[in-house]
Amino acid sequence: MRADRLIMMTLLLQTEGRLTAKELAKRLEVSERTIYRDIDALSAAGIPVYAEPGNGGGISLPPEYRTRADDLTSSEVQALFVQHASQTMEQLGIGSSFRSGLLKIMNALPTRHKVDAEWIRDRVFLDTEAWRPRDPQVDFLQLVQQAVWEQRAALLVYQSKDGALFEARVEPHGLVAKGGIWFMVASVGAEVGESEVNRRMLPFRLTRIQSFTLLEERFDRQTEFDLVQFWRKWVERFQSTYFMPEG
């Protein structure tokens, strides 16, 4: 819907600063011509968006411009306050921060939107944890998280699905929790000794990590790496390999 796209464009410009029409078109999955029409629509609505032509130019908002809590729609408020299991955030150590952040948003909402928030919290609960959690204790989660946060390389000993052990130098780029199971996504160093996996980005199930040693060495995170995109493609390949289609 166009209204949703206009909101997304405003939030992108607000959080990321100046973006080109090409960048916005890619992010919003529309043509550049559509982006320019949307800019006209935002301007007509009173949002101070402007475009600068030429090299170094782009589309931006004034630095002081901020959307307000009362600009949120009812459906956006309801989406924010859907209740869900918080075990994943607790494991990351950010459960209390998440709850306090939602509380601050709630306090900033106009009265009419507080009703929407309470309404959805009383009616929908998303339990994203597995029915029978197989990873009740992830020994190396905090160390892996530190490696991701600080962009530090590490040495690990890993047990593959068939039980074989191997050592590797890894550069952790992200963490993924799927159905209560944690994975580290990391690029694999040359020490693995297998040329076909060198410098590849691979997922590692945390409960199969036998040891994990942080190194003092820092690495430059691959700027083009998109964690969500990588994970979706990997899951698609995994499912096509190990799950037979119905029919």
pLDDT tens for each residue of 166-198? 999 999 999 988 877 889 999 986 444 444 344
pTM score above 0.85: no
Share of the chain above pLDDT 70, in %: 68
Which has the closest alpha carbon to 183: 242, 240, 138? 138
CATH architecture of structural domain 2-60: Orthogonal Bundle (1.10)
In this structure, which amino acid lies at residue 231? W
Q: Where in the chain is the domain with CATH 1.10.10.10?
A: 2-60
Q: What CA–CA distance (Å, rounded) separates 104 from 117? A: 13
More confident residue, 117 or 28: 28
What is the pLDDT, as a whole number, of residue 189?
66
Q: Decide if pLDDT at 221 tops 80.
A: yes
Give residues with Cβ within 8 angstroms of 109, minimum separation 6: 69, 70, 72, 77, 117
pLDDT category at 17 given cuts 50, 70, 90 is confident
Radius of gyration of the chain (CA): 22
Average pLDDT in the chain:
78
Cα–Cα dist 185/203, whole Å: 4
| More confidently predicted of 162 and 127 | 162
Residue 47 has pLDDT above 70, yes or no: yes
Higher pLDDT, 241 or 9: 9
3-state secondary structure 176-232: EEECCEEEEEEEECHHHCCCCCCCCEEEEEHHHEEEEEEEEEECCCCCCCCHHHHHH
Give pLDDT, residue 194: 42
Pick the CATH number of 141-242 from 2.60.40, 3.40.390, 2.30.30, 2.40.50: 2.30.30
Identify the pLDDT of residue 99: 67
List, by residue range, all CATH 2.30.30 domains of the chain.
141-242
More confident residue, 239 or 231: 231
Q: What is the mean pLDDT of residues 91-95?
A: 67
pLDDT band at 98 (very low <50, low <70, confident <90, very high): low
pLDDT at site 223: 79
- pLDDT tens for 155-167 read 999 998 888 999 9
